[in-house]
Amino acid sequence: MNFIQNEEPNIKKPIIIAAMQDMGNVGNITIDFINESLKTKLFRTAKLPYPTYVVDNGGYIDLPDESWEYRYADDLIVFGGGKGQPQSITELNALCQDVIDIAKKYSAKFIYTLGGFHTNIMQSNIPKTYITTTSIELTKQMEKLQVNTSPQKSIITGFNGLILGFAKKNQIHGIGMYGEINNPDRPQYRAAISIIKTIEKLTYRKLGDMSQLEVMAKEMERKFKN
């Protein structure tokens, strides 16, 4: 994994929101929304040194741009988005460790991650967001804010789960937020909206106007209803 430092941001004790592409593209939708809404600035890039696949355009191939960005705004670092996740556990671990190194460098106290929570029993068209944290004590604090905690024991794979393990090992508070989705193969805008609202609730910070995400959610529902 190659890391390119584009600039040195003047930030101290930020929160970090870090997520990568996953089921229903929840990670990408949320990260892209935050970056666009808050006009974040690029300061660091993580890039695979070699491709893990090629794209066949029908007679000729292209190489994918497998890179992920660190961006910042006031008291906030946003990492991830991009296309896919590293295919090897070695590369994935290197990426998680780099996020931790950046957290330590800028004295971040919290890492938030997010993704999809696949379920077939959604009660309405308004998906819930379930949270899990790096400690029982932190979960008890979150419960006072009347958020939903993860309903059962499970294994969370990929970056959007593993980063919590790295945070815990390094004594950094971590919170994972996972929005209900009932079809992991379609973009899940309503799950992203639910997660963004949860982030706002936990951070006491507005992340922007979500009306365009509502439009995209309705368009997706219309498309697959027909």
Decide if 212 is inside a domain. yes
Tokens 């066949």 belong to 56
Decide if 57 is inside a domain. no
Range of the domain at 71: 2-52+62-225
Decide if 187 is inside a domain. yes
Decide if 177 is inside a domain. yes
| pLDDT at residue 7, rounded to an integer | 94
In degrees, rounded to 5, the angle at the alpha carbon of residue 192 between the alpha carbons of residues 187 and 196 is 165
Q: What is the mean pLDDT of each run of 10 residues along the chain (226 residues)?
A: 93 94 91 96 93 88 90 95 85 95 95 89 77 94 90 85 96 95 88 94 93 92 76
| pLDDT at residue 226, rounded to an integer | 57
Decide if 203 is inside a domain. yes
Decide if 211 is inside a domain. yes
CA distances 153 to 5, 113, 150, 156, 164, Å, are 38, 18, 8, 10, 15
Residue type at 195?
A: I
Residue 210, domain CATH: 3.40.50.10900
| Dist CA 94 CA 86 (whole Å) | 10
Decide if 89 is inside a domain. yes
Decide if 113 is inside a domain. yes
In degrees, rounded to 5, the angle at the alpha carbon of residue 11 between the alpha carbons of residues 7 and 14 is 125
| Dist CA 83 CA 64 (whole Å) | 8
- Provide the b/e sequence for 41-71 (b: ≥16 CB within 10 Å): eebbbbebeeeeeeeeeeeeeeeeebebbbb
Q: What is the domain count for the chain?
A: 1
Q: For the purposes of burial, counting CB atoms within 10 Å of the CB of 164, is it exposed (0-12), middle (13-18) or buried (19 or more)?
A: buried
Total Cβ atoms within 10 A of residue 148: 17
